[in-house]
Amino acid sequence: MSVVQALYPPCCCGILQIVECGHSAMEKLGFTNFCGIDAIGISRKRKSLLKPIMAKEDDGASRIEDGHQVKKPNGLTPLANHSAALFGKNLSEMSNIGNSMNICWHECPIQKLDREHLLQQKGCVIWLTGLSGSGKSTLACFLSRSLHSRGKLTYILDGDNIRHGLNRDLSFRAEDRSENIRRIGEVAKLLADAGLICIASLISPYRKDRDACRALLPEGNFIEVFIDVPLEVCEARDPKGLYKLARAGKIKGFTGIDDPYEPPYSCEIVLEQKGSECTSLGDMTEIVISYLDKNGYLRA
């Protein structure tokens, strides 16, 4: 019995198939001495298709029992099981998630710990939340630059930037704001799983939405940073002129004016401005980096 693992037929987008056949059947497939890769009636272009093909001569014969391939008498696992390992941990476990039907989770041999070891850091999400004008985006850039100078890989998910693409279909109604945060939370989760230090910078006014994002990640991987700057200070800054428009009634549902901001009950870091005293960006950056260093995020 010969077991052939091949791209068959060539027009099937490179899907790997398992073919079990005797020597007579091998001739029908166009091969006479497969181990020597001698082909009958195949042009040089067609021979190039043989490069990804693997063949294995075996004295034993596999058999199918109850839909499963049984091990060979010599104790070797059939080749089909190896190909299944390449494409998924368990292809028979189908799920229905939300509106997605008949889907399955595919595992990869390279996991988060492997990526973290490669990057020499631990993947996590630093979630910067606060009123518009509190300095979230500016702090995110300072933090990213400081970590980059230390050889750490970061990526910023800025609320306004994400609305230019992924979330361009969402408004600022309460339900769309929740969906905006949910999507960004899922992206942040993927970046953290990739081993990156993800910095999410957005108002995220509702406590339940931030908590839902926290729940997406393993315990300790979500670092909530509340930039606690009073409304009057943010409004005096008004870097985008949005408070002025909101006060004039030209923007509806603006956080802090006619829509609430719910501060965290408990978060990992609070960067508070008291009265006219303002903590410098450098100091705020060092507070966050000190937390990361103390808790082991800057090493694998």
Q: Distance from first CA to last CA of the chain, Å, rounded?
A: 48
- Pick from 214, 194, 196: nearest CA to 204: 214
| pLDDT for residue 98 | 85
Candidates 62, 132, 144, 204; catalytic one:
204
Is residue 181 a contact partner of residue 129, using CB atoms and an 8 Å limit?
no
Can you give the pLDDT at residue 226?
Answer: 98
Which residues of the chain fall below pLDDT 70? 1-92, 275-276
Report pLDDT for 92. Answer: 56
Q: Tens of pLDDT along 113-158? A: 999 999 999 999 999 999 999 999 999 999 999 999 999 999 999 9
pLDDT of 97 reads 86
**pLDDT tens readout for residues 151-176:** 999 999 999 999 999 999 999 988 99
Q: Of 56, 84, 59, 83, which is closest to residue 73 (Cα–Cα)?
A: 59
Whether 276 is a known active-site residue: answer no
